[in-house]
Amino acid sequence: MNRLVSVIVPCRNERAYIEAFCASLFAQALPPGWQIEAVIADGQSDDGTAEWLAAHADERLRVIDNPGRIVSTGLNQALQIARGEVIVRMDVHSVYAPDYVAECIAALERTGADNVGGAWRAVGQGGMQRAICAVFQSRWISGGARSRLLDYEGEVDTVYLGAWPRASFERFGGFDENLVRNQDDEHNLRIKKGGGRVWQSARIRSSYSPRASLGALWRQYLQYGYWKPFVMRKHGQSASARHWLPAAYLLALLGGLLLLPWSGWPLALLGLAYGVLLLGGCLSLANQGLAVLLRAPLVIPTYHLAYGLGSLLGWADVLRGAPAGRSRFARLTR
């Protein structure tokens, strides 16, 4: 009897990508004895995505409505009707190796982990998107997150996308629908705190298409920063240093500005410190080409300042006891 793997996919307004994504999904080379189904939760798209999906839905491509319009509600609704013994999450904007699903299944069987995934590899076109990719991938600039290490194999705190045995959701629950961003980090944290294991495999290969402009990148990382304190409040657990530093630097800058009538040294030292970081970050990308190098001085601060400002706004709402995040940070930014 064939075994079933369910691929769950949240999407909204992906008409330019959905056809190629579905073609690559059903071209996946599965292990012997396995079959695949896809459950796509469409967030009420208005660009033709919903119509294309409706025209191509069948037993293998199941389409459901996601009125919540955010990733966590879409994932949970897809989980409710997914029939597979293994659940694999995919996103439309990523490109997957032909053996992606097979390697997810193999990693689960090999490690016995509760969630497995691959590294987060960014690939772009054009000078600005390539610069955004290079900064995203850099250990110097991203704080050493293992999810950016393409050759890393072992236990981690979180993985890109993810693949789970169905029992993981029965044990740890689904995704937190109060979180517009960071719902995957929160779910992995719940697994770890519950005694489970999260595993990153270098054999699980995909590439991600990031934002292509500074404005879109700013809005995205403002959201990432904003929702992180809500995860920390829920679990009463501190984030790593790389999550604290952007907000701490902005607070220090504010302190330097307040001290400016009496002394300019604190602000000058802060500016010098960030200048050294910026120079080092740019030099670490020198092998990426001139187009990337020229844009890096704009891209690097966009990542840091957007995340830091978002974190400060998130902490302000958490500390005043807001039960949920602001609606302005609930809108998807792509």
| Whether this model's pTM surpasses 0.75 | yes
Using 50 as the pLDDT threshold, list the residues of the chain that sit under it. Answer: 333
Predicted confidence at residue 177, as pLDDT, reads 86
Q: Which of 121, 142, 133, 136 is nearest to 242 (CA)?
A: 142
Question: Contacts for 211-215 with beta carbons within 8 Å, 24 or more apart?
Answer: 211/129, 211/132, 211/333, 211/334, 212/124, 212/126, 212/128, 212/129, 212/132, 213/128, 214/128, 214/298, 214/299, 214/302
Predicted confidence at residue 237, as pLDDT, reads 65
Predicted confidence at residue 209, as pLDDT, reads 82
Predicted confidence at residue 331, as pLDDT, reads 60
Q: Which CATH number fits domain 3-210: 3.90.1150.10, 3.40.50.1000, 3.90.550.10, 1.10.40.30?
A: 3.90.550.10
Q: List, for residues 77-125, the tens digit of each pLDDT value.
A: 999 999 999 999 999 988 999 999 999 999 999 999 999 999 888 888 8
Q: Which residues lie across from 274 on neighbouring strands?
A: none
Structural tokens at position 328: 């302005």
Structural tokens at position 118: 């691959």
Q: Say if residues 100 and 177 touch (Cβ distance below 8 Å).
A: no
- Sheet strands side by side (includes 198-200): 61-65, 34-42, 3-11, 86-89, 160-165, 115-118, 198-200, 154-155
- Buried residues in 37-73 as b, exposed as e (16+ CB within 10 A): bbbbbbbebeeebbebbeeeeeeebbbeebebbbbbb
Q: In terms of DSSP bridges, do strands 115-118 and 198-200 run parallel, antiparallel, or are they unpaired?
A: parallel
Predicted confidence at residue 328, as pLDDT, reads 64
What residues does CATH 3.90.550.10 cover in the chain? 3-210
Predicted confidence at residue 323, as pLDDT, reads 67
